[in-house]
Amino acid sequence: MEKVIVNSDLYFDCLNKDPNLSFSVVSGKEVFLFLKDINNVNSIDIDVRNDSILRLSIFSKNPIDLLKITANVAKNSKIICYFADFSVEKNHLEASINLNDEDAKCEWHLASLSSQKDDKNISVSIYHNSPRTFGKIDNYGVCKDHSKLVFSGVSHILKGCHQSASHQNAKIVVFDDNCLAIAKPILRIDENDIEASHAAVVGKVSDEHIFYLTSRGLSVDEAKLLITLGYLKPILKGFDQSVSNEIDSVIERRL
């Protein structure tokens, strides 16, 4: 497996490449890495070295059998990940972020649209292996038709990793009686001097929200669409204009 050294912004097309990818962000750099056509990729290993920032953006629109993402974040470094999951049929994703040294940080943002007979299992975990590390997971999903969408994962703060903070947020809006949506964000905390929170919301669009929007003249369908887009569109800020436009058109078409 060849390791790709990332020292400047990189648009990486995964088509016809090794299914096991490896990237290393050099020290002291702030870089953007966009991965395209990842559906045949089995694993992605990422090293974020000292004092660097990686903005990782992944857009998927094809089936994913099993994709494992492992990131190791070094001292005073940060990984910010935007995963736009518009895969059809299936997506089995296992992401593990290791915050290995002091002041390592991770922000994970994922938006997932699950429709028809899609079967999606998305697990995102952050391991706080050093003091003063910060992790935040925001997983937002829309579940329709006969599809299945599961958000899981663990935020684990190991003993001795004081003054660390870990937050998880999993929200799925459910459209139909026949779909299955599960959100189970788990915290494992072995240290006292920390901050941690986890929240899970699964449910239909709130009647109060619908009333609020319709009281301003929007029809029920327009209100539902606007609220649903609110689950998916915030992910666009992680992508450049051309990819953002492509994701936008996929959202509009599939909703």
Partner 1 sequence: MATLKINDLHVEVEGKKILKGVTVSISEGETVALLGPNGHGKSTLLNVIMGHPRYKITSGSMYLDDVDITHMTTDERARAGLFLALQNPAEVTGVINSDFLRAAVNATSEEKISTYKFYKMLDGATKELKMPFDLATRSLNEGFSGGEKKRNEILQLLLLKPKIAMLDEIDSGLDVDAIQIVADVIKKEEENGRGFLVISHYARLFDLIKPTRAVVMINGRIVLDGDTSLIKRIDQNGYEFIKTELRIEIEKENADMNTVSIGSCAVKESIKK
| Sole binder of partner 1 in the list 230, 237, 245, 249 (CB under 8 A) | 230
| Sole binder of partner 1 in the list 158, 218, 243, 255 (CB under 8 A) | 218
Per CB under 8 A, the segment of 35-43, 51-59, 61-69, 212-220 that binds partner 1 is: 212-220
Closest CB to partner 1 among residues 30, 222: 222
Write down the least CB distance from residue 245 to partner 1, Å: 16
| Sole binder of partner 1 in the list 233, 246, 250, 255 (CB under 8 A) | 233
Q: Do 241 and 249 touch, CB atoms closer than 8 A?
A: no
Write down the least CB distance from residue 183 to partner 1, Å: 14
Nearest to 23 by CA among 41, 9, 3, 40: 3
| Sole binder of partner 1 in the list 1, 159, 216, 242 (CB under 8 A) | 216
Closest CB to partner 1 among residues 182, 218: 218
Report the interface residues with partner 1, using CB under 8 A: 140, 171, 206-209, 211-220, 222, 226-227, 229-234
